[in-house]
Amino acid sequence: MFSLLHNRQISESDILTMHRIFYKDINPKAAGRYRTRPVIITGFEYPVCKVEQIQNEIGRMLQWVASDRDKYHPVEFAAQLHKRFVFIHPFIDGNGRISRLLMNTALIQDGYMLAIIPPILRQEYISLLEQAHKNDRPFMDFIAERVFESEKEIMRLLHIPFPKFHKSKNKGS
């Protein structure tokens, strides 16, 4: 995991390893393996990727990572990566956790703080993720806010004063 944080690449092997590490004690046979049966996510309007399309969609996502990463602000890229992965939903379980792990990996790779989503914001997070099928800007803004709030919290814990931003008064003629 630490070697992954020191470069700006994410591979299929990395994704499968993350899932294997996370899921091995829950279901060893499914750990690190793509799902082989369809799933329906309760409460969501949009279907996830069909089983037979998972491998191709993961490949497309990883090609996008390799070719388009620098076209985005790092926080927007991380939010997009999260969204794209969770919409594919390649595993039988643990997709949300792995998508957040991928997002935070991308953030750290680019020198940003983690986007910590506290339980109190879970419903808003899920709602914005569902809305991202049509408009992903509110979801990306939510993730940016979470990065900012995480940074403020770390600074608070380390007793680092957070700069106050002042609106400058326009001293016209």
Residues acting as catalytic residues: 89
Question: Using H for helix, E for strand and C for coil, what is the string for 69-114?
Answer: HHHCCHHHHHHHHHHHHHHHCCCCCCHHHHHHHHHHHHHHHCCCCC
Alpha carbon distance 97, 77 (integer Å): 17
Q: At 71, list the tokens.
A: 């076209």
Alpha carbon distance 112, 105 (integer Å): 9
Calculate the CA 31 to chain-centre distance: 20
**In whole angstroms, how large is the CA radius of gyration of the chain?**
18
Nearest to 99 by CA among 138, 72, 126: 126
What lies within 8 Å, CB to CB, of 5 at 6+ separation is 105, 108, 109
